[in-house]
Amino acid sequence: MDRKEREALMNDVESFCQEIRPIEELCYVEHRFNDQVIPLAKKHNILGIPVPKTHGGRGADCVTYCQALARIGREGTGVRTFFSGHTSIGQAPIMYFGSEELKKRYLPASVKGEKILAFGLTEPDAGSNPLEMTSTYERQKGKFILNGVKYLISNGGIADAIVVFAYQKQSASGKNPRVSAFVLDTRVEGFNKEDLTAKCGMPSSNTAMFEMSNCAVPEENLLGEEGDGFRIAMGALVTGRLSVAAGCLGVIEDCLHEVVSYSTQRHQHGKEIARHQLVQDHIAMIEMHRVSSEVMVKRAAEAKDEADAMPNQSELKKQADIWAAKAKFFVTNAAWDAADRAVQVFGGRGWSTLYRPGRHLNDVRVCRIYEGADEILKLKIASSVLGKEYEAFK
C-alpha cells in the first residue's frame, strides 16, 4: 500500500468514524444493536482493509490496518469489536489458509458487506483451553457434518458465515484427535443462534451463541487440511490480538482527548480542575499509556508484516506471535487504567454512560478477557523468556 492509498484509507476511516459517532452514542444509551455500522462501513469501503486488492479489499499492511483500528477504537470498543470479528478473525483465516476457490467465494462478498463473518472457537466448556472443545465433525457423502455449541461469539448472531472449529468425530476420544477448521454458512439447516445481551458493556455490538445440529458443510469449505484447525485458530489469534491492542490504543487516545477537554473547562475551588496537580497526575499517566501503547502496537504490527513478507521463516512467525501477545496484554491493561482515570477526572459525570469515559470503562474490560485472558498471555510471555521447558501448557 503506497502513501496515497494509505491517506485515502485513513480519510475513509475518519469519515466513517464521524458518521457513526452520534448513532453509536444513541444506540449505546438505548442499549440496542447499532445496525448502521455495516452500511456505513460498506459506504466508506472499510469492510476489508487488509484483504488483498485481488480479492476486492484495500490491501493494507498490518501497520496501516492497526492505525485504522486505533481510529475506530476511539468510537468505542463495541464498534471496533465488529471489525475484529469480521476482518481480523473472520476474513484473516480465509486469507491465510483458504483455497483460491474459498477466497473467491467469501472475500469479495465480505468486503462488499454481502457476507458478514465471525469466528467461533469458544464453547461453554472450552475457553482458555480451546482443545477442550467438544464440537465434532464427520465426513458423510462428500460433506462434513458438524455438531456442537459455540459460545460468546462476536457477530455470531448477525454473521452469514462463521469460521468454526471441531474435532474429527472418530478420534474425539482417541489418541490423536484432529481439530479442523471450516467456513460454515449460517443459513444451513440445523444452525440455531441466540443473542447474548446481559453484558457489562458493548451493548450496541452483537455477541451470540449458536448450536450446530448436524450442519452440513461442503467439502470445499474446509480451511487448510484436516487437522490444521488448531494452527489456524492460533494464527487467527495473532491478527485478533493485534486488533484488540490497536483498538485499545484508540480508547486511550479518546480518554486523553476527553480529559484534556473536560479538565480545562470544569472549574472547582476557583480554577480549572486541570490546574489541580492531582488531576494532572491522571493526565500524565494517560499520556504515558498512550505513547507506550503506540510504540507497542507499532512494533507488534511491524513484526506481523515482517512475518507475512517471509512466510517460510518460522522464527519471524514466532516473533509476531509473541509481540501480538505482549501488545495485547500491555495495551488492554493500559486502556483499562486510562478509562478508569478518565472517569475519575470527570467525577460524577464520569460514572455515567452519557459520557465517553464511562462507556469506555464498561467496554474495555472485556479486552483483558477475550482473545487470550491476561493470565494466559502472561504465561505465554513468561515461557518466551524462560524457554520451552517452562511452558505452562502446550
Ligand X SMILES: Cc1cc2nc3c(=O)[nH]c(=O)nc-3n(C[C@H](O)[C@H](O)[C@H](O)COP(=O)(O)OP(=O)(O)OC[C@H]3O[C@@H](n4cnc5c(N)ncnc54)[C@H](O)[C@@H]3O)c2cc1C
Positions touching ligand X (CB under 6 A) are 85, 118-122, 127-128, 152-154, 207, 366, 369-371, 373, 375-376, 379, 392
- In the chain, the amino acid numbered 268 is Q
Length of the chain equals 394
Count of CA atoms in the C-beta half-sphere (13 A) of 77:
31
Shortest CB 375 distance to ligand X, Å: 3
Cβ closer to ligand X: 295 or 386?
386
Give the integer Cα–Cα distance in Å for 99 and 184.
15
SS3 72: helix
Shortest CB 121 distance to ligand X, Å: 3
Q: Of the listed 123, 371, 375, 391, which one is catalytic? A: 371
Cβ closer to ligand X: 301 or 366?
366
Cβ closer to ligand X: 50 or 78?
78
Cβ closer to ligand X: 15 or 383?
383
Helix (H) or strand (E) holding 247: helix 229-263
Cβ closer to ligand X: 72 or 259?
72
Shortest CB 195 distance to ligand X, Å: 12
Shortest CB 86 distance to ligand X, Å: 10
Give the integer Cα–Cα distance in Å for 305 and 321.
12
Gyration radius (Cα) of the chain, Å:
21
The whole-angstrom distance between residue 305's C-alpha and the CA centroid of its chain comes to 18
| Residue 287 known to be catalytic | no
Inter-residue long-range contacts of 337-341, CB under 8 Å, 24+ positions, other chains counted: 337/285, 337/289, 338/251, 338/252, 338/255, 338/256, 338/285, 338/286, 338/289, 338/290, 339/251, 339/255, 339/364, 341/255, 341/259, 341/282, 341/285, 341/286
Nearest residue to ligand X, using CB? Answer: 127
Supply 303's cell numbers: 513484526
Shortest CB 196 distance to ligand X, Å: 8
Task: Tell me which residues are annotated as active site.
Answer: 371
